[in-house]
Amino acid sequence: MSGARASRRVAFDTLRAVHESDAYANLLLPKAIQRAGLDQADAALATELTYGTLRRQGTYDAVVELAADRAAAEIDPAVLDALRLGVHQLLSTRVASHAAVNESVELARSASGRGAAGFVNAVLRRVSRDTPGDWMTRVADSARSDDERIGLSLSHPVWIVRALRRALAAEGRADELEALLRADNASPRVTMAALPGLAEAPENARRTPYSPLGFRTAGGDPEGMVRGSEGRIRVQDEGSQLAALALTRAVPVAPGERWLDLCAGPGGKTAVLAAEALAHGAHLEANEISPARAGLVRQAIAGVPLEVVVSEQDGRTRAAQAPETYDRILVDAPCTGLGALRRRPEARWRKVPSDVPALTQLQMELLTAALGALKPGGIVAYVTCSPHLAETAGVVAEVMRAWGPGVEEISAREVVARVAEADPDLPEQSDGSGRAQLWPHRHNTDAMSISLLRRV
């Protein structure tokens, strides 16, 4: 099998696993590339085909429906994935049209037989006859509302379009919506972190603009650098770095402080907390309900010479067992993940509006439990990789109402601006809170929300 053909097979098999088994592309694809023995160029092609198709899936489904005169939901799932892969190559890559069509036909044939192959051939040849611009115009014209037009053109479900618009409007910047959606569809650059006090960025690295720990390299596989540093240099989004530092640097650390990372998996922020705790003479504990993710936490902190006990409990239970115990707690709460759609593009097609109420209830319970586990004067950082106002401002406001004068807010915007090495441009929120909201299109980070609360 040629390299390009093997790349397409890897991409197709990954798409099938994502849609059939709820697999995560970022976990599955590297293993599939390794099994297939792809060289660097073919691995890059497989990665582009997989992530490009997932990011633009909504747009490609609209194109397929127009070209096939059939609803995407009525097409066999394996055939639909072959079509999506073919449409991506025809409309968004420089792959030759005949190769895109023929290879997609063969994938459909191997998955669903000759009849499926003929159908895919007819649809993709129809798509190949017109330009990408023509198809984008037709997709936009098929929309029934402005939100649907934006969603179809920029490949986001309508409910996410509306949620992101509201979050931007809370900063007076609703006009940045399309820039944000386009950033969600762009491949993120790899960002590294050098754990403070334990590692330094390489001399030829370029420092990131905001986090004092962050840097980027000219390219190449970062895993070699991670292994060579024994995990003291790691791949980590700059927004995640800032979220951890906002907690550790909100106020000066007193020796002997006790810290807790309540929802620690997979451990990136835990590693930053551990390095900071080591540097300042603090003690750190971690908790993660999932045994598999708890294992990842232990791996993440293995390079930090600090004893960190990792428990495996429901965060609410863990916090309730230690009332008024901790000086600082990180609540990196489970969320919709709408802030990380660049990295996990399949999430936008899996989440639905009905997921939000259950998540916000869990988030409120975790934050409430964390406040109960704080000593008077202690600080909790409430962090979500989602800008959805129900998961961010709504949760914090509800918990603060319940606690009344027992809790006060520290301006996370001011703390992040103080920690950052350049002005992060964090406008005030319309609710008057001190919440700091990072954005892919503005900061080149995940859309991380950071709030800081102190128990009075």
98 in a domain, yes or no?
yes
259 in a domain, yes or no?
yes
Q: If you average pLDDT over every residue of the chain, what do you get?
A: 96
Q: Structural domain tally of the chain?
A: 2
397 in a domain, yes or no?
yes
- The residue range of the domain holding 282 is 236-455
Q: Does residue 255 have a cis peptide bond before it, meaning omega lies within 30 degrees of 0?
A: no
What residues are designated binding site?
Answer: 263-269, 288, 314, 332
95 Cβ partners below 8 Å, 6+ apart? Answer: 89
103: domain CATH number is 1.10.940.10
Among 142, 172, 205, residue at a domain's last position:
142
pLDDT beyond 70 at 262: yes
Catalytic residues, by residue number, are 385
What's the average model confidence in pLDDT over 435-443? 98
9 in a domain, yes or no?
yes
pTM above 0.85, yes or no: yes
Confidence of residue 255 (pLDDT cuts 50, 70, 90): very high
Q: What is the pLDDT of residues 133-147, one digit of tens each?
A: 999 999 999 999 999
pLDDT beyond 90 at 13: yes
Among 142, 169, 203, residue at a domain's last position:
142
Q: What is the pLDDT of residues 199-229, one digit of tens each?
A: 999 988 999 999 999 999 987 778 889 999 9
Q: Quick one: 253 and 374 in the same domain?
A: yes
What's the average model confidence in pLDDT over 222-242? 93
Q: Let me know if 453 is exposed, middle or buried by CB neighbors in 10 A (0-12, 13-18, 19+).
A: buried
What's the average model confidence in pLDDT over 154-163? 98
User: Would you state the pLDDT for residue 223?
Assistant: 84
80 in a domain, yes or no?
yes
Confidence of residue 1 (pLDDT cuts 50, 70, 90): low
Q: Quick one: 426 and 291 in the same domain?
A: yes
Q: What is the pLDDT of residues 53-72, one digit of tens each?
A: 999 999 999 999 999 999 99
pLDDT beyond 80 at 91: yes
313 in a domain, yes or no?
yes
365: domain CATH number is 3.40.50.150
420 in a domain, yes or no?
yes
User: Would you state the pLDDT for residue 354?
Assistant: 97
Q: Quick one: 391 and 243 in the same domain?
A: yes
pLDDT beyond 80 at 157: yes
Strand positions, DSSP E, 294-397: 309-311, 326-332, 374-384
The residue behind tokens 């990665």 is 47
Confidence of residue 424 (pLDDT cuts 50, 70, 90): very high
What residues are designated binding site for S-adenosyl-L-methionine?
Answer: 263-269, 288, 314, 332
Among 120, 142, 164, residue at a domain's last position:
142
Q: Quick one: 241 and 122 in the same domain?
A: no
pLDDT beyond 80 at 368: yes
First-to-last C-alpha distance (Å) of the chain: 66
Measured CA to CA, the distance from residue 211 to residue 198 in angstroms comes to 16
264 in a domain, yes or no?
yes
Confidence of residue 16 (pLDDT cuts 50, 70, 90): very high
